[in-house]
Structure 1
Amino acid sequence: MTEQTTLPSPADAPAGPPRPWKARAARRVVGQAQTLLDDARLLTTADAGLRERVRDAYTATREVRVHADLRTVGVAALEDRRKKLRVAVLEKAGFKHVAQVLVAGTDRLVEAGIGAGTAKLATSAARELAADVDAELRFRIDVDPDDPYATVLVQSLYAFGLATDARHRHLDEARRVTAVVPGHLAPAALATSVWRRLVAPADRRVAAFAALSALADQVAAARLTDDARAVRAAVGQPPDGAEVWADFEARSAEYYGLLSQVVDLGDDHEAAEGGLPADVVRRVEAQPLDRTLLRANLRGYQQFGAKYALVQRRTILGDEMGLGKTMQSIAVAAHLVATGGTHVLVVCPASVVTNWQREVEQHSDLTAVVMHGSDREKAAAAWLDGGGVAVTTFEVLGRLDLPHDLRPALLVVDEAHYVKNPETIRGREVRRWADRADRVLFLSGTPMENKVAEFKNMVGYLQPEVAGQLDPNADLSGARAFRRIVAPAYLRRNQEDVLTELPEMVQVEEWEQFGPVDGAAYRSAVLAGNFMAMRRAAFAVSDAADSAKLVRLRELVTEAVDGGRRVIVFSYFLSVLEQVMDLLGELAVGPLTGSVPVPERQTMVDALSDPDGPSVLVSQITAGGVGLNVQAASVVIFCEPQVKPTIEAQAVARAHRMGQTRTVQVHRLLVEHSVDQRMMEILGSKSALFEEFARQSEITDAAPSAVDVAAPSETSLSRTILAEEQERLGRTP
């Protein structure tokens, strides 16, 4: 890891007479230095103890799950394991199910009047059954604050995450402090006592003052104090259960990432490796990953993906949507900057610029610079001088005034299928930057194996020698030969293969920015005092290209459909539904509105389930959000935030319910600095909006109010937001 600060050692004492210290000041500095040493030692050791706490909590939670399953198995099942076992004896003694036998054990069975031989046979058979159930158990943390075992596990993971992050962030500093401070504490102690200073020889006083100065420098340079305080609090007192559950809902992937560091979750390691050849896997696994600047816990497959990009240098990461390609890219960037790199360049569609900026700032200590819009040249100059992660668009890339000899440590191209034609202007610009970058990472969740010609073009940007081995006319989809050829340049994993716990929902906030046309429509709605027009202004365009939300909607639908997924698009507004239908054309069925008779609504749903039918159902949220089961869809897109969180909960429950076999992805289309942002802030974060979804999908149908979270009325909400937006845009009502 890279060093963070340069701290003096005893040999580094400054020349000349040291500063004289008063006894009171000396005691204060020694006390601060001792606290700093304690903090440093805590950060280098706390994660080990918390790791054991997580393991114990996981074992207890898993055992409870196994016992719960065994309570549904009658003792008669033990006879299948031990033919000589007399089950009637157990039943007569009051043992009805296997869990009772397992908990009792041999001794308590004997105490209940069962013969020793029968007790031993029953116990051994029960243990075998328990082992079988345990082996088949797909462990998942269900959101249930009333489950004390799961709560302890989530609390333990939260504390372990704090300790792990702090250790990675401050390990170099902590090691230096623990190596240097103890050597100064002993000589400095002399200066804390007036009497000892008076009777001590002059050379010892000089040494004491020098040690105090060194300790003061250590304390002044310390950066680990706040994190150490947080870790100490988490170690000593479990964090509040409700707060931790809310955090788990917002960051469940990171919690599973932490858990996978402690226990074996049964991950398919071969799937995580994307079926790569053994020699490539060995090189990837040997690659270290510096996490000093990263503020996120990666899943095993994500660590592998980041290392793969580092080892292979010029690659395509083709993971299915929802597996965290952005996070893996940030991990690569954080490693490169931590190990000496300075400039990282991200090129992406305009619709995801804001998302990139937010993700970089949220999950790393890297600086994000947006080179887009009217200030792009100023931003480019700042990036050139200060480094960090610059985010720009395909259209702006060629217009930036940057030195021709600038060699970024990493070039990331998001939605890389945008440059599948290298002869386009954007294709030529990407190639120009790819040729000069030290490493290049293309991201695309769109499966490419069935489009060999396009895939060959993309690989050609990165590793022409690999592209030259691909026959663009061959059908190499899924073929072992194809995987072997592209292994140096292409890694793809699917959700079902690497997310063994299959989290029930992956929630994504798709933050966009207004362009000239939709922005003008929004401003007009605000100045007119029309709250409803403000909510649908992002779609008030005649050309879909002028709507940031419609552009992103098309990208999401295209990626989902190419990945074999079905989609539901929800909006409150009929005019928005018509816009979406016009955009998607034959891909979509609908719109399903309140005026559509119930039998016809089901016909639309059935059409979505037809393998040869449409891929998207477009529905008014107040109509399709209640009463229909749409298990065929696993991607849900909300065109705008809803006033009542319950409405969204009911809508998601159409796809997110019993019978759904795929992880449900929920995307919200949102615009920064607009009514969307204010609604999200007032109504709460996505974790608050969906607080009850995972455990309430069934009771939602019976009692919608049971999952309604407190929210302001539509009238008060509209009045508040309208006033604030009018003030922001320069008009006081």
Structure 2
Amino acid sequence: MTTSQRTDGGVHRPSRAVLKLVRALSHRAAELERAPQELRRAAREQITALVRAEATARVRGLPAEELKPFVGRSIRLGTLINAGFPTIGSIEATPRHQLTMIPKVGAQTVDDVLRAAAEYRERLIRNSDVRFDPDHRTPGHTRLLGFLLAIRGADAAVAGLHDQVARFRERSAPLLAKAAPTASALWRWTLPFRPTTRNEARAALVELALLAGESDTLKLADAIGKAERAIDPGAFDPALSWQLYLRDAASVNALLSTLGASDAQEDVARGHLGPELRRKIDAVPLDVGLLKPTLTLRQYQVFGAQYAIHQERVILGDEMGLGKTVQALAVIAHLAAQGQSRFMVICPASVQVNWLNEIDKHSRLRAFSLYGNDRESNTRLWLREGGIAVTTFTTLGRLELTEQVKLSVLVVDEAHQVKNPQTRRAQEVVKVIDRAHRVLFLTGTPMENRVEEFRNLVHHLDPARAALIDPADLLHGAKTFRRQVAPVYLRRNQEDVLKELRDKIEVEDWVRLTPADERAYREAVATGNMMEMRRVLLTSQDSAKLQRLSEIIEEAVEDGRKVIVFSFFLEALSILHRRLGDLAIGPLVGKVSPQRRQAMVDELTDRRGPAVLLSQITTGSLGLNVQAASVVVIADPQWTAGAEDQAIARAHRMGQAHAVQVHRLLAKGSIDERIREVVEEKVLLFNEFARKSDAKSSDARAVDSAFHRPEVLDDPAVPLDHRMIIAERYRLGLA
């Protein structure tokens, strides 16, 4: 038998196998591409079912009185309640005809009450969100978790295989069309008078056979097979699913947030900006092609990036833990995709390594460290190739090669550190601002002490707008202040946008001084040394604070929780480290390198069972993500609410899977009481001017001072710390 005879007579048998193989692979690739959307649809159905089930269960147990706002005054709801139906569930569970038999309860009353119950339930459903609780793992939540993990796998697989699938489809599609007739046993007779077409079909079939056997095709088939297993929600073991969630709760919850955002959430995500500005910002088509598919931007983060791109020079003042870093990366990635090439991040040295890690983890952009021994060589490389230069406030003034470089985007992290325009740090940053097309200040605490500080930050970005702001407005000008800074200041708070974030339980743990405390404290007050007065409360021979701290840690260990302890004083951390032994990690202090700081956080995260990270508050409160800890202890009160909030936000942030317990250790009859008084006044100032942004109610709250001090102690001509020492001396009879 000749080759042509074999080809003509038996070609349909091998052709069927080749065509089937190539078509099947094409079909599987198409199914994989559709998987993210199909999985999202299924996940939304699961979310709806969970929310409805939870709302129904909640409504059933509520008192029937809750329905009063939903029924008219003429409806005899009280009669139903007194007849033995105290809850909504008890009313709904009773047949309608039995309810109508109750004296003075007619059919209209029953119908209106049942309608009100249904309306109440639907309203509750509309305003409800799904939360994962690792301590209460229901089958429904476990199933939803499987869908979310499958979606993440599908997104990553589709993005990772996009180029391979495109090449395979480009080659196989025309060949499949030409070779399709050869699969039929009658193909020789269906094309009897078109030998050219028959030859093309044979040739296409041969090419398909070769394509099917190529190593790239075999690798693609293997990769699709692995992806298919990874995107099956039922393939995830429940225990493994929860383990994966605890390891990366932030990205899982970010994905969840994109599946069920309500109109109210969308409004908050946009900071309740005016409709005209909102429309302009929404019209910015954010290009995230240079961000990795493993990063899911939440809705408010997308808007934050759009806001920064459109407004060009802004303060992103989102509360700590809301992902300001990834919003800045989204801005840079968008502009890089548009062909812009040079970007710079200025940050404290303590978070410089974190920035480099985040850029590598979440983007396809190249980062250059303009810090340390390789600063000059990396600077030349960055100038030649473009990318993101990451430097520090202290290094900035020594970057001579960059003095004339124009920047597409300048990001200043922890921007409150340039609030004083008289400092060299602020002056160096201003020089770079003048060479940047867009500037993005990142800070969760834009105003720590005075409104003037906030105004200074605005001045760096927009001097004309800052000139319109009168710091003397104080609380009475809060509404005006927020309106004036709205075009340059956007802030969202955790409770507004992180619906899944577990509660933060804050406790002030007041202790009474022991005799040893009192002796050490009186001696410190007599010296007039403020730092010594604060320090001895933690380091005396029988410190009441350390006793209480030991109890808190002991309780946390019994519950299997991890703890982070913040203190300003190195001696106190050293004492704690000796007491805790192997349970302790750290201490994380200023002299520890940024790499070692991250290693300490990683050790806390990776430890099985309880552990305690000890950190100096001035070092560990910036740039670190410590979601592994769910107990936070502030061992000594700080002078600003922002300092404590920064520290707490290391744990209570996006990705935290547990409720966070915050303990503030405070000593009665000590300087701690005076510090808390000062901080409470500063909290009021921050809430009115900075926290609200344009995302809260527009009316400034009236605030009455709660201070009752002798006139000499309120004399602004006397430095505050001196007045506080004088107050303590008077109180202790040492004046």
TM score, norm. by length of structure 1: 0.61
TM-aligned CA distance change 1:378 to 1:696, over 3 Å: closer
Aligned: 1:288 with 2:285: yes
Aligned: 1:237 with 2:162: no
Partner of 1:671: 596
Q: Deviations over 1:662-712 (max 9, x none)?
A: xxxxxxx982586775565454897777699837989xxxxxxxxxxxxxx
Partner of 1:54: 43
Cα distance between partner residues in 2 of 1:143 and 1:157: 15
Cα distance between partner residues in 2 of 1:141 and 1:383: 43
Cα distance between partner residues in 2 of 1:242 and 1:475: 54
SS in 1 for 2:437: coil
Q: Deviations over 1:570-627 (max 9, x none)?
A: xxxx9xxx9xxx9994996874579647xx55xxxxxxxxxxxxxxxx8885244357
Q: Deviations over 1:178-203 (max 9, x none)?
A: 67743332335689999999x97544
Cα distance between partner residues in 1 of 2:29 and 2:111: 52
**Which amino acid in the other structure matches residue 258 of structure 1?**
L
Cα distance between partner residues in 2 of 1:134 and 1:646: 48
Q: Deviations over 1:329-348 (max 9, x none)?
A: 12222222333333332111
In the TM superposition, residue 374 of structure 1 has moved relative to its aligned partner by 1.4
SS in 2 for 1:289: coil
Partner of 2:141: 150
Partner of 1:528: none
Cα distance between partner residues in 2 of 1:239 and 1:40: 22
Contact map agreement 1:246 1:688 (CA 8 A) in 2:
no
Where do 1:153-192 residues align within 5 Å?
A: 153-164=144-155, 181-187=172-178
Contact map agreement 1:170 1:224 (CA 8 A) in 2:
no
In the TM superposition, residue 411 of structure 1 has moved relative to its aligned partner by 1.7
How many residues are paired up? 564
Contact map agreement 2:304 2:316 (CA 8 A) in 1:
yes
TM-aligned CA distance change 1:428 to 1:593, over 3 Å: closer
Contact map agreement 2:59 2:88 (CA 8 A) in 1:
yes
TM-aligned CA distance change 1:484 to 1:36, over 3 Å: farther
2:658 to 661, 675, 694: 694
Contact map agreement 2:503 2:659 (CA 8 A) in 1:
no
SS in 2 for 1:432: helix
Cα distance between partner residues in 2 of 1:310 and 1:390: 19
Partner of 2:498: 499
In the TM superposition, residue 172 of structure 1 has moved relative to its aligned partner by 8.1
Partner of 1:486: 485
Partner of 1:70: 59
Where do 1:280-319 residues align within 5 Å?
A: 280-294=277-291, 295-319=294-318
In the TM superposition, residue 235 of structure 1 has moved relative to its aligned partner by 3.4
Where do 1:564-575 residues align within 5 Å?
A: none
**Which amino acid in the other structure matches residue 374 of structure 1?**
N
Gaps of at least 5 residues in structure 2 are 1-10, 189-194, 511-516, 522-527, 557-562, 568-572, 586-593, 612-625, 632-655, 663-735
TM-aligned CA distance change 1:72 to 1:196, over 3 Å: closer
Contact map agreement 1:145 1:151 (CA 8 A) in 2:
no
Partner of 1:364: 363
**Which amino acid in the other structure matches residue 346 of structure 2?**
V
TM-aligned CA distance change 1:127 to 1:406, over 3 Å: same
Cα distance between partner residues in 2 of 1:583 and 1:154: 55
Partner of 1:260: 257
Contact map agreement 1:452 1:471 (CA 8 A) in 2:
no
In the TM superposition, residue 300 of structure 1 has moved relative to its aligned partner by 1.9
Contact map agreement 1:452 1:474 (CA 8 A) in 2:
no
The answer to which of 82-91 and 675-684 deviates more is 82-91
SS in 1 for 2:315: strand
Contact map agreement 2:504 2:660 (CA 8 A) in 1:
no
Partner of 1:349: 348
Cα distance between partner residues in 2 of 1:587 and 1:316: 37
Where do 1:487-566 residues align within 5 Å?
A: 487-504=486-503
In the TM superposition, residue 225 of structure 1 has moved relative to its aligned partner by 8.0
Contact map agreement 1:33 1:219 (CA 8 A) in 2:
no
In the TM superposition, residue 350 of structure 1 has moved relative to its aligned partner by 0.4
Cα distance between partner residues in 2 of 1:673 and 1:74: 50
Cα distance between partner residues in 2 of 1:335 and 1:382: 22
Q: Deviations over 1:123-182 (max 9, x none)?
A: 434324433544665653322453112222222222234434555677788678767743
**Which amino acid in the other structure matches residue 337 of structure 2?**
A
Cα distance between partner residues in 2 of 1:645 and 1:57: 47
**Which amino acid in the other structure matches residue 304 of structure 1?**
F
2:121 to 113, 119, 130: 130
Contact map agreement 1:356 1:391 (CA 8 A) in 2:
yes
Cα distance between partner residues in 2 of 1:403 and 1:78: 67
In the TM superposition, residue 372 of structure 1 has moved relative to its aligned partner by 1.8
In the TM superposition, residue 441 of structure 1 has moved relative to its aligned partner by 1.1
In the TM superposition, residue 220 of structure 1 has moved relative to its aligned partner by 6.9
The answer to which of 114-123 and 488-497 deviates more is 114-123
TM-aligned CA distance change 1:430 to 1:191, over 3 Å: farther
Partner of 1:247: 244
Gaps of at least 5 residues in structure 1 are 1-21, 507-563, 569-573, 602-617, 629-634, 650-668, 699-733
Where do 1:540-689 residues align within 5 Å?
A: 585=531, 591-592=537-538, 596=542, 601=545, 621-626=549-554, 637=565, 671-672=596-597, 681-683=606-608
Contact map agreement 2:368 2:390 (CA 8 A) in 1:
yes
Cα distance between partner residues in 2 of 1:78 and 1:48: 39
**Which amino acid in the other structure matches residue 282 of structure 1?**
R
SS in 2 for 1:262: coil
TM score, norm. by length of structure 2: 0.61
SS in 2 for 1:412: strand
In the TM superposition, residue 226 of structure 1 has moved relative to its aligned partner by 4.7
Partner of 1:98: 88
- After superposition, the CA RMSD in angstroms is 5.5
TM-aligned CA distance change 1:33 to 1:121, over 3 Å: same
> Identity across aligned pairs (percent)?
34
Cα distance between partner residues in 2 of 1:474 and 1:25: 85
Cα distance between partner residues in 1 of 2:77 and 2:319: 53
Contact map agreement 2:605 2:628 (CA 8 A) in 1:
no
Cα distance between partner residues in 2 of 1:670 and 1:159: 33
Contact map agreement 1:250 1:687 (CA 8 A) in 2:
no
TM-aligned CA distance change 1:78 to 1:462, over 3 Å: closer
Partner of 1:729: none
Aligned: 1:374 with 2:373: yes
In the TM superposition, residue 495 of structure 1 has moved relative to its aligned partner by 2.2
**Which amino acid in the other structure matches residue 297 of structure 2?**
L
Contact map agreement 1:30 1:189 (CA 8 A) in 2:
yes
In the TM superposition, residue 414 of structure 1 has moved relative to its aligned partner by 0.6
Larger-gyration structure (1/2): 2
Partner of 1:8: none
Contact map agreement 2:346 2:413 (CA 8 A) in 1:
yes
In the TM superposition, residue 352 of structure 1 has moved relative to its aligned partner by 0.6
